[in-house]
Structure 1
Amino acid sequence: MFFATVLSMVFSHVRREYHLVYDVKKNMTEALKYCRERYTDLATIENMEDVKAVNDLIKLHWSSLPWSLWIGLYDDINSWRWSLTDGNFYKDGEREYRNWYPGNPKNKGGVEHCTQMGSDGQWSTTSCKRENLAVCFHAKGLNKKLVLINTTMTWTVAQNYCRRYYTDLASVRNKAENKQIKNLISKGQRVWIGLFRDAWKWTDGTRSSFRYWSDNEPDNRYKNETCVLVDLKDNNKWADVMCNQETAFVCHKVLEKKQRLRVRLVRQDASVDLNDPVVMGDLLQKLEQSMNSEEGTEDIKLSWIKQSDGKIFHKEEKKTKKAKYTDTKDEL
């Protein structure tokens, strides 16, 4: 028995249409609000193809532009969090415990995104590429302990090491645990703990590590340089600056690629109701998995399209061939 329906297929590979706004000058917050009201967001730039698209617009409007343009990249300075994410590990307020050395956290050179503890038990920010000893946390059943790793390594290598051989880099939930780790550290030593922050993010939430920095950028030269400009004086590369500057900016509009497909299914089990939400959800999941498993396909998202009567599936009536008859008359 055949049933027919229509699928909406959305290719979630995003195409962006960029728009230069240069007739008004705004700070980063104002530019973001403007772009979200009229387009999709401040510009997200994920690869050199996107860079070229923006550069082509800059060439087209060069005589009308100032020396810089906002894009949607910013430094999330309040995103400090622990490497160990298990919610059952923390009681109320324990995620927020801090023991910063005076003047910290800071962001010298725009690269201090990881946390080290000194032999005095106080914390400071530093580049994640620095090499320190590390303290791992190990939990096995009811047994929990802190382990000093007497090998210097970067923060990322330390995180991977702790996760491989123990549980994770150490979280510090209170004064007592801070003292425990302090007692592991010899005078003059510094160790990694699990506190870090996400550095640069796109305002539309896109997760992309692509960057097009100018040489020696980001540098946080004047402190609080948490927003990003395209620097037209430096081959349209990027620089971190304070967010209160007023200048032109680039917005983007997302253009989704959609396609409709007609689907015919054979119902082998007469007791299965294809219009049951659970059945439809299961079918949709299996179809998505099948389509995305093909090499070279994009990340495809599917959804059912309701027909005029509110149903998804309709039984197809069999088309029968009409027999042709020729009347004959017997002559008497």
Structure 2
Amino acid sequence: MMETLICLSAVLALCPVSSLDARHYHYVYEEKNWTEAQSYCREKYTDLVTMETMEDVKMLNDLADTSKLKADQLVWIGLYDDMNSWRWSMSDRKETEFTNWQSGEPNNLDGYEYCVETDPYAVWNDKPCFAANKPVCADVTGQTVTFVFINITMNWTDAQHYCREHHTDLASVRNMIENQKIKGVIPAGEYVWIGLFRDSWKWSDGSKLSFMNWNKDEPDNSGENDTCAAAGVKNSGKWEDGNCVIKRPFICYRAVPKQVVRLKLIKPSSLDLKDPIVLEHMLDQLKQKLKEQGVNGDVKLSWRKQSDGNIFYKEKTEEEKTTPNKNEL
């Protein structure tokens, strides 16, 4: 059911427009594995929780009923490691059906292996992108691909930049024939970068991952299938990776669609409506009014500027409404 807000007759103002983007958070203390928790949140609410700032972390910690949690118990959040999101650096090479992994790879050892190297026999291994290797670049002309070994040691990102600047891109491999061509340019004993990498941690609801709050040495992929994230309520909300099949409490959120709220306010003569401090104070008062009406969760308010750049306009009197503009005469 869509939630709406009551327009307020507040203590200040003229006719501003304020936009609301709110989320309501819900702790679920019934223990489920990560996939079950995701399904539950999507059925009952919107999705597993997403966090964008330290304010979100603090607020969620404050909302928790710690009496319902075991000592040092973690709770599932909506962050997960997509182990199957491998793709090529070269934009026109999306095919990843062909692979030539070493036995037991990719294994994401220590939780940071998001890029791919090959051994001298062109057998692949996932590896941290910050590691140092020499790359193999590709020159593409029409349907013709030529592979070039670069005798410069660099991390994967620098290798990508180098290949894009001096060649076409880091090498991509569509079949065994191309893999054997790469093997032919690798000097004996060298391990080299190729253009395969993967997007790692993602939010369940598809939000961009722009904020992280990992605990020290996390994520570490210390156990099998440690591809789901949980937060510790009693350790400042720090995140840890964990086995997705473990049953834990979890946090859901329900999205409240952005609303435009018009407020008719009475402006004291001494009030400067262009002063940023005054505008911020007004928003704080409006947020408090919303809380008093039972609107909880992460409520964000902001002023919307009109086409002339102003936030406010003076309401016309009945006489002004009926008097023609002299430009219209």
TM-score, L = length of structure 1: 0.70
In structure 1, the partner of 2:76 is 70
Deviation at 1:29, TM superposition (A): 1.0
Correspondence 1:19 to 2:20: no
Question: Does the Cα contact within 8 Å between 2:114 and 2:199 map onto a contact in 1?
Answer: yes
Deviation at 1:31, TM superposition (A): 0.8
In structure 2, the partner of 1:206 is 207
Q: Find the structure with the greater CA-based Rg.
A: 1
CA distance in 2, matches of 1:194, 1:25: 41
Q: Which runs of 5+ in 1 are unaligned?
A: 1-8, 262-296, 301-318, 322-332
Runs of 4+ residues over 6 Å off in structure 1: 297-300
Residues 169 and 298 (structure 1 numbering): CA distance in 2 closer, same or farther, change over 3 Å?
A: farther
**Which deviations, in whole Å up to 9, do the C-alpha atoms of 1:122-157 show, x marking residues without a partner?**
111111110111111122456642222211111112
The 5-angstrom pairing of residues 1-332 of structure 1 reads 15-22=22-29, 24-58=30-64, 61-66=65-70, 67-86=73-92, 94-140=95-141, 144-259=145-260
Structure (1 or 2) with the greater strand fraction: 1
CA distance in 1, matches of 2:180, 2:21: 49
Question: Does the Cα contact within 8 Å between 2:58 and 2:236 map onto a contact in 1?
Answer: no
**Which deviations, in whole Å up to 9, do the C-alpha atoms of 1:233-259 show, x marking residues without a partner?**
533211111111111111112223233
AA paired with 1:74?
Y
Deviation at 1:33, TM superposition (A): 1.1
- Secondary structure of the residue aligned to 1:129 is coil
In structure 2, the partner of 1:310 is none
Deviation at 1:183, TM superposition (A): 1.4
Question: Does the Cα contact within 8 Å between 1:10 and 1:256 map onto a contact in 2?
Answer: no
CA distance in 1, matches of 2:217, 2:163: 32
CA RMSD of aligned residues (A): 2.7
Q: Which runs of 5+ in 2 are unaligned?
A: 1-16, 263-301, 306-321, 325-329
In structure 2, the partner of 1:308 is none
Residues 79 and 141 (structure 1 numbering): CA distance in 2 closer, same or farther, change over 3 Å?
A: closer
In structure 2, the partner of 1:293 is none
**Which deviations, in whole Å up to 9, do the C-alpha atoms of 1:69-105 show, x marking residues without a partner?**
100000101111111121xx57xxx531111111111
Deviation at 1:231, TM superposition (A): 2.1
CA distance in 2, matches of 1:164, 1:299: 43
Deviation at 1:166, TM superposition (A): 2.0
Q: How many residues align?
A: 252
CA distance in 2, matches of 1:81, 1:98: 11
Residues 194 and 15 (structure 1 numbering): CA distance in 2 closer, same or farther, change over 3 Å?
A: farther
TM-score, L = length of structure 2: 0.70
Deviation at 1:232, TM superposition (A): 3.5
Question: Does the Cα contact within 8 Å between 2:85 and 2:198 map onto a contact in 1?
Answer: yes
Farther-moved stretch of structure 1 (230-239 vs 39-48):
230-239
Question: Does the Cα contact within 8 Å between 1:114 and 1:196 map onto a contact in 2?
Answer: yes
Give the fraction of aligned pairs with identical amino acids, expressed as a percent. 47
